Structure 1
Amino acid sequence: MANPEIESELDGIDKVAVMLYRLGLSLAALLLLCRGSRALTGLDLLSPSHWLTALAVASGLCAFCLHLYDKRIRFLLQGLGWGALLLAACGAPDALVLGAALATLSGLAFKEQFCFAIPGIRLLPVLLPLCWLLEALHLAWASALVALASGLLLGLLSLAKWRMPLHFDIGDRSRYQL
Protein backbone atom coordinates (compact mmCIF):
# COMPACT_ATOMS: atom_id res chain seq x y z
CA MET A 1 0.00 0.00 0.00
CA ALA A 2 1.44 3.33 -0.94
CA ASN A 3 2.50 6.46 0.74
CA PRO A 4 3.47 8.49 -2.33
CA GLU A 5 5.47 10.91 -0.21
CA ILE A 6 7.79 8.09 0.88
CA GLU A 7 10.22 6.82 -1.70
CA SER A 8 11.62 3.46 -0.66
CA GLU A 9 14.69 2.10 -2.38
CA LEU A 10 13.55 -0.46 -4.97
CA ASP A 11 15.57 -3.48 -5.97
CA GLY A 12 15.06 -5.51 -9.14
CA ILE A 13 12.49 -7.83 -7.54
CA ASP A 14 10.46 -4.84 -6.32
CA LYS A 15 10.39 -3.37 -9.80
CA VAL A 16 9.38 -6.65 -11.43
CA ALA A 17 6.69 -7.27 -8.78
CA VAL A 18 5.13 -3.83 -9.26
CA MET A 19 5.14 -4.22 -13.03
CA LEU A 20 3.60 -7.72 -12.80
CA TYR A 21 0.88 -6.41 -10.46
CA ARG A 22 0.08 -3.65 -12.95
CA LEU A 23 0.18 -6.15 -15.82
CA GLY A 24 -2.32 -8.35 -13.96
CA LEU A 25 -4.67 -5.39 -13.52
CA SER A 26 -4.34 -4.53 -17.22
CA LEU A 27 -5.00 -8.10 -18.29
CA ALA A 28 -8.07 -8.33 -16.03
CA ALA A 29 -9.42 -5.08 -17.48
CA LEU A 30 -8.97 -6.35 -21.05
CA LEU A 31 -10.58 -9.67 -20.19
CA LEU A 32 -13.63 -8.00 -18.66
CA LEU A 33 -13.95 -5.80 -21.74
CA CYS A 34 -13.71 -8.91 -23.95
CA ARG A 35 -16.37 -10.67 -21.88
CA GLY A 36 -18.73 -7.73 -22.14
CA SER A 37 -18.20 -7.21 -25.85
CA ARG A 38 -18.63 -10.95 -26.52
CA ALA A 39 -22.12 -10.99 -25.07
CA LEU A 40 -23.12 -7.79 -26.84
CA THR A 41 -21.55 -8.36 -30.27
CA GLY A 42 -21.39 -12.15 -30.45
CA LEU A 43 -17.68 -12.04 -31.34
CA ASP A 44 -15.76 -14.68 -29.41
CA LEU A 45 -12.17 -13.49 -28.97
CA LEU A 46 -11.63 -16.19 -26.34
CA SER A 47 -13.64 -19.28 -25.54
CA PRO A 48 -15.40 -19.06 -22.16
CA SER A 49 -13.01 -21.59 -20.63
CA HIS A 50 -9.92 -19.75 -21.90
CA TRP A 51 -11.38 -16.45 -20.73
CA LEU A 52 -12.01 -17.80 -17.24
CA THR A 53 -8.54 -19.35 -16.99
CA ALA A 54 -6.94 -16.10 -18.14
CA LEU A 55 -8.96 -14.13 -15.57
CA ALA A 56 -7.81 -16.54 -12.84
CA VAL A 57 -4.20 -16.01 -14.01
CA ALA A 58 -4.64 -12.21 -13.97
CA SER A 59 -6.08 -12.21 -10.45
CA GLY A 60 -3.43 -14.68 -9.27
CA LEU A 61 -0.68 -12.51 -10.73
CA CYS A 62 -2.03 -9.46 -8.91
CA ALA A 63 -2.30 -11.45 -5.68
CA PHE A 64 1.23 -12.84 -6.05
CA CYS A 65 2.70 -9.35 -6.40
CA LEU A 66 0.47 -7.58 -3.87
CA HIS A 67 2.03 -4.93 -1.62
CA LEU A 68 -0.26 -4.35 1.33
CA TYR A 69 0.64 -3.35 4.88
CA ASP A 70 -1.96 -5.45 6.75
CA LYS A 71 -0.91 -9.10 6.58
CA ARG A 72 -4.41 -10.44 7.28
CA ILE A 73 -5.93 -8.63 4.31
CA ARG A 74 -2.89 -9.45 2.18
CA PHE A 75 -3.26 -13.15 3.13
CA LEU A 76 -6.97 -13.13 2.29
CA LEU A 77 -6.51 -11.49 -1.12
CA GLN A 78 -3.57 -13.72 -1.97
CA GLY A 79 -5.56 -16.78 -0.92
CA LEU A 80 -8.46 -15.78 -3.14
CA GLY A 81 -6.18 -15.09 -6.12
CA TRP A 82 -4.27 -18.34 -5.77
CA GLY A 83 -7.53 -20.09 -4.95
CA ALA A 84 -8.92 -19.03 -8.32
CA LEU A 85 -5.91 -20.61 -10.02
CA LEU A 86 -6.18 -23.79 -7.96
CA LEU A 87 -9.90 -24.09 -8.62
CA ALA A 88 -9.34 -23.57 -12.36
CA ALA A 89 -6.58 -26.20 -12.39
CA CYS A 90 -8.78 -28.71 -10.53
CA GLY A 91 -11.70 -28.25 -12.92
CA ALA A 92 -13.96 -26.74 -10.27
CA PRO A 93 -17.28 -25.25 -11.34
CA ASP A 94 -16.88 -22.02 -13.30
CA ALA A 95 -18.92 -20.09 -10.72
CA LEU A 96 -16.31 -20.85 -8.02
CA VAL A 97 -13.36 -19.90 -10.22
CA LEU A 98 -15.06 -16.70 -11.34
CA GLY A 99 -16.11 -15.85 -7.79
CA ALA A 100 -12.57 -16.22 -6.42
CA ALA A 101 -11.03 -14.22 -9.27
CA LEU A 102 -13.58 -11.40 -9.04
CA ALA A 103 -13.36 -11.34 -5.24
CA THR A 104 -9.61 -10.82 -5.55
CA LEU A 105 -10.07 -7.99 -8.04
CA SER A 106 -12.81 -6.43 -5.87
CA GLY A 107 -10.51 -6.45 -2.87
CA LEU A 108 -7.71 -4.91 -4.89
CA ALA A 109 -10.02 -2.18 -6.18
CA PHE A 110 -11.16 -1.53 -2.61
CA LYS A 111 -7.51 -1.23 -1.53
CA GLU A 112 -6.63 1.06 -4.42
CA GLN A 113 -9.46 3.47 -3.62
CA PHE A 114 -7.78 4.14 -0.26
CA CYS A 115 -4.34 4.53 -1.78
CA PHE A 116 -5.11 6.67 -4.80
CA ALA A 117 -7.96 9.01 -5.74
CA ILE A 118 -8.97 7.45 -9.06
CA PRO A 119 -12.51 8.37 -10.16
CA GLY A 120 -15.05 5.57 -10.28
CA ILE A 121 -12.94 2.94 -8.54
CA ARG A 122 -15.34 2.93 -5.57
CA LEU A 123 -17.90 1.24 -7.84
CA LEU A 124 -15.75 -1.80 -8.64
CA PRO A 125 -16.23 -3.61 -5.30
CA VAL A 126 -19.96 -3.49 -6.06
CA LEU A 127 -19.85 -4.10 -9.82
CA LEU A 128 -17.56 -7.14 -9.78
CA PRO A 129 -19.71 -9.20 -7.36
CA LEU A 130 -22.75 -8.07 -9.34
CA CYS A 131 -21.06 -9.38 -12.49
CA TRP A 132 -20.56 -12.74 -10.75
CA LEU A 133 -24.20 -12.86 -9.67
CA LEU A 134 -25.49 -11.98 -13.13
CA GLU A 135 -23.22 -14.63 -14.69
CA ALA A 136 -24.54 -17.21 -12.20
CA LEU A 137 -28.11 -16.25 -13.08
CA HIS A 138 -27.27 -16.53 -16.81
CA LEU A 139 -28.40 -12.96 -17.51
CA ALA A 140 -26.00 -12.46 -20.40
CA TRP A 141 -26.96 -8.91 -21.42
CA ALA A 142 -26.91 -7.53 -17.90
CA SER A 143 -23.69 -9.36 -17.14
CA ALA A 144 -22.13 -7.99 -20.34
CA LEU A 145 -22.99 -4.41 -19.42
CA VAL A 146 -21.58 -4.82 -15.92
CA ALA A 147 -18.46 -6.53 -17.30
CA LEU A 148 -17.95 -3.65 -19.75
CA ALA A 149 -18.35 -1.03 -17.01
CA SER A 150 -16.02 -3.00 -14.73
CA GLY A 151 -13.46 -3.41 -17.51
CA LEU A 152 -13.51 0.30 -18.25
CA LEU A 153 -13.06 1.24 -14.59
CA LEU A 154 -10.34 -1.36 -14.06
CA GLY A 155 -8.71 -0.07 -17.23
CA LEU A 156 -8.73 3.47 -15.81
CA LEU A 157 -7.14 2.16 -12.63
CA SER A 158 -4.57 0.27 -14.64
CA LEU A 159 -3.69 3.30 -16.76
CA ALA A 160 -3.39 5.47 -13.66
CA LYS A 161 -1.14 2.87 -12.02
CA TRP A 162 1.14 2.64 -15.09
CA ARG A 163 1.59 6.43 -15.05
CA MET A 164 2.67 6.42 -11.38
CA PRO A 165 6.26 5.96 -10.29
CA LEU A 166 6.96 2.39 -9.20
CA HIS A 167 7.71 3.36 -5.59
CA PHE A 168 4.08 4.48 -5.12
CA ASP A 169 3.08 0.79 -5.02
CA ILE A 170 5.64 -0.11 -2.34
CA GLY A 171 5.12 2.74 0.11
CA ASP A 172 6.68 2.77 3.57
CA ARG A 173 8.48 -0.53 4.12
CA SER A 174 8.55 0.00 7.90
CA ARG A 175 4.72 -0.29 8.05
CA TYR A 176 4.49 -3.81 6.56
CA GLN A 177 3.35 -6.53 8.91
CA LEU A 178 5.46 -9.63 8.39
Structure 2
Amino acid sequence: MARLLNALLPRPFLESLGQVVLRRAGSGHKEAESLTKLEPTLTKAEWQKKLTPEQFYVTREKGTEPPFSGIYLNNEESGMYHCVCCDNALFSSEKKFCSGTGWPSFSEAHGTSGSDESHTGILRRLDTSLGSTRTEVVCKQCEAHLGHVFPDGPGPHGQRFCINSVALKFKPNKR
Protein backbone atom coordinates (compact mmCIF):
# COMPACT_ATOMS: atom_id res chain seq x y z
CA MET A 1 0.00 0.00 0.00
CA ALA A 2 2.80 2.44 0.91
CA ARG A 3 4.57 1.67 -2.40
CA LEU A 4 1.37 2.36 -4.32
CA LEU A 5 0.87 5.70 -2.56
CA ASN A 6 4.52 6.62 -3.13
CA ALA A 7 4.14 5.86 -6.84
CA LEU A 8 0.88 7.76 -7.26
CA LEU A 9 1.38 10.81 -5.05
CA PRO A 10 4.19 13.41 -5.16
CA ARG A 11 6.72 13.19 -2.31
CA PRO A 12 6.01 16.70 -0.89
CA PHE A 13 2.33 15.76 -0.59
CA LEU A 14 3.17 12.53 1.21
CA GLU A 15 5.56 14.35 3.53
CA SER A 16 2.81 16.78 4.46
CA LEU A 17 0.77 13.82 5.64
CA GLY A 18 3.20 13.13 8.49
CA GLN A 19 0.41 12.10 10.82
CA VAL A 20 -1.11 9.57 8.43
CA VAL A 21 -0.62 6.05 9.70
CA LEU A 22 -0.94 2.80 7.82
CA ARG A 23 -1.81 -0.40 9.64
CA ARG A 24 -0.46 -3.70 8.45
CA ALA A 25 -0.56 -7.19 9.85
CA GLY A 26 2.72 -8.70 10.86
CA SER A 27 3.88 -11.44 13.22
CA GLY A 28 0.46 -11.80 14.80
CA HIS A 29 0.20 -8.12 15.79
CA LYS A 30 -0.52 -4.80 14.12
CA GLU A 31 2.39 -2.47 13.60
CA ALA A 32 1.98 1.27 12.99
CA GLU A 33 4.09 2.73 10.23
CA SER A 34 4.18 6.38 9.08
CA LEU A 35 4.41 7.12 5.38
CA THR A 36 7.40 9.39 5.93
CA LYS A 37 9.40 7.39 8.44
CA LEU A 38 12.53 5.61 7.33
CA GLU A 39 13.21 3.84 10.63
CA PRO A 40 11.15 1.02 12.09
CA THR A 41 8.90 1.99 14.97
CA LEU A 42 10.32 1.06 18.36
CA THR A 43 8.13 0.09 21.28
CA LYS A 44 7.90 2.31 24.34
CA ALA A 45 10.14 -0.12 26.25
CA GLU A 46 12.76 -0.07 23.46
CA TRP A 47 12.79 3.77 23.41
CA GLN A 48 13.16 3.79 27.21
CA LYS A 49 16.17 1.47 26.92
CA LYS A 50 17.78 3.55 24.16
CA LEU A 51 17.24 7.02 25.68
CA THR A 52 17.90 8.69 29.03
CA PRO A 53 14.75 9.44 31.07
CA GLU A 54 14.93 13.14 30.09
CA GLN A 55 15.43 12.32 26.39
CA PHE A 56 12.49 9.92 26.51
CA TYR A 57 10.25 12.47 28.25
CA VAL A 58 10.99 15.21 25.71
CA THR A 59 11.18 13.22 22.45
CA ARG A 60 8.62 10.46 22.98
CA GLU A 61 6.18 12.11 25.43
CA LYS A 62 6.34 15.65 23.98
CA GLY A 63 7.91 17.17 27.07
CA THR A 64 10.06 20.28 27.38
CA GLU A 65 13.38 20.74 29.14
CA PRO A 66 13.57 23.67 31.58
CA PRO A 67 14.60 26.97 29.94
CA PHE A 68 18.31 27.89 30.10
CA SER A 69 19.22 24.30 31.09
CA GLY A 70 20.16 22.75 27.74
CA ILE A 71 23.75 21.88 26.85
CA TYR A 72 23.47 23.42 23.37
CA LEU A 73 21.92 26.74 24.36
CA ASN A 74 25.26 28.57 24.25
CA ASN A 75 27.11 26.23 21.90
CA GLU A 76 28.93 28.33 19.27
CA GLU A 77 30.86 25.49 17.60
CA SER A 78 30.45 24.92 13.88
CA GLY A 79 28.66 21.69 12.98
CA MET A 80 25.37 19.87 12.60
CA TYR A 81 22.61 19.09 15.08
CA HIS A 82 21.13 15.60 14.69
CA CYS A 83 18.12 13.84 16.23
CA VAL A 84 19.14 12.13 19.47
CA CYS A 85 16.79 9.23 18.67
CA CYS A 86 17.73 8.32 15.10
CA ASP A 87 20.74 10.50 14.14
CA ASN A 88 18.83 12.31 11.35
CA ALA A 89 20.49 15.65 10.39
CA LEU A 90 18.16 18.48 11.49
CA PHE A 91 19.79 21.90 11.94
CA SER A 92 23.08 23.53 10.94
CA SER A 93 25.02 25.70 13.37
CA GLU A 94 25.08 28.31 10.57
CA LYS A 95 21.36 28.95 11.19
CA LYS A 96 21.59 28.98 15.01
CA PHE A 97 21.00 32.28 16.80
CA CYS A 98 20.53 33.59 20.34
CA SER A 99 16.83 34.27 20.86
CA GLY A 100 17.02 34.90 24.61
CA THR A 101 14.18 32.41 25.15
CA GLY A 102 16.20 29.75 26.99
CA TRP A 103 16.32 27.13 24.22
CA PRO A 104 18.59 26.71 21.19
CA SER A 105 17.00 28.59 18.28
CA PHE A 106 17.44 28.18 14.54
CA SER A 107 16.14 30.31 11.66
CA GLU A 108 15.58 27.31 9.38
CA ALA A 109 15.98 23.54 9.20
CA HIS A 110 18.94 21.98 7.41
CA GLY A 111 18.03 21.33 3.77
CA THR A 112 15.60 24.24 3.45
CA SER A 113 15.56 25.84 0.00
CA GLY A 114 13.76 29.19 0.12
CA SER A 115 10.46 28.28 1.77
CA ASP A 116 10.62 24.62 0.62
CA GLU A 117 11.21 22.21 3.53
CA SER A 118 10.62 19.00 1.57
CA HIS A 119 14.33 18.06 1.78
CA THR A 120 14.71 18.75 5.49
CA GLY A 121 14.73 16.28 8.37
CA ILE A 122 11.70 17.84 10.07
CA LEU A 123 7.93 17.89 9.86
CA ARG A 124 5.54 20.51 11.21
CA ARG A 125 2.39 19.50 13.09
CA LEU A 126 -0.48 21.42 14.61
CA ASP A 127 -0.30 21.44 18.43
CA THR A 128 -3.28 22.57 20.50
CA SER A 129 -2.21 20.80 23.70
CA LEU A 130 -1.97 23.95 25.85
CA GLY A 131 -5.27 25.43 24.70
CA SER A 132 -3.59 27.62 22.08
CA THR A 133 -2.46 26.87 18.56
CA ARG A 134 1.26 26.26 18.05
CA THR A 135 3.33 24.45 15.45
CA GLU A 136 5.21 21.43 16.75
CA VAL A 137 8.47 20.34 15.10
CA VAL A 138 9.15 16.60 14.87
CA CYS A 139 11.87 14.49 13.28
CA LYS A 140 10.74 13.30 9.86
CA GLN A 141 12.53 9.98 10.29
CA CYS A 142 11.44 8.82 13.77
CA GLU A 143 8.76 11.36 14.74
CA ALA A 144 10.63 12.50 17.87
CA HIS A 145 9.25 15.70 19.38
CA LEU A 146 11.94 18.37 18.99
CA GLY A 147 10.22 21.61 19.98
CA HIS A 148 8.12 24.28 18.26
CA VAL A 149 8.48 26.91 15.54
CA PHE A 150 7.27 30.48 16.00
CA PRO A 151 6.88 33.40 13.57
CA ASP A 152 9.12 35.80 15.52
CA GLY A 153 12.58 34.89 14.25
CA PRO A 154 15.13 36.73 12.12
CA GLY A 155 14.79 37.30 8.35
CA PRO A 156 14.37 36.43 5.65
CA HIS A 157 11.55 34.04 6.70
CA GLY A 158 11.03 35.27 10.27
CA GLN A 159 11.03 31.83 11.87
CA ARG A 160 12.33 30.75 15.26
CA PHE A 161 12.73 27.01 15.63
CA CYS A 162 12.81 26.66 19.43
CA ILE A 163 14.38 23.23 19.96
CA ASN A 164 15.12 21.22 23.12
CA SER A 165 18.85 20.50 23.58
CA VAL A 166 18.01 17.08 24.98
CA ALA A 167 16.39 16.14 21.62
CA LEU A 168 19.63 16.91 19.78
CA LYS A 169 23.07 15.40 19.28
CA PHE A 170 25.73 17.85 18.07
CA LYS A 171 28.44 16.76 15.65
CA PRO A 172 31.21 19.34 15.14
CA ASN A 173 32.59 19.97 11.66
CA LYS A 174 35.78 18.08 10.91
CA ARG A 175 38.81 20.34 10.75
**Where on the TM-score scale, by shorter chain, does this alignment land: which range?**
under 0.3
Q: Which protein is richer in helix relative to its size?
A: 1
Higher relative contact order (CA 8 A, sep 6+): 1
Q: Which protein is richer in strand relative to its size?
A: 2
Normalising by structure 1, report the TM-score.
0.27
Normalising by structure 2, report the TM-score.
0.27
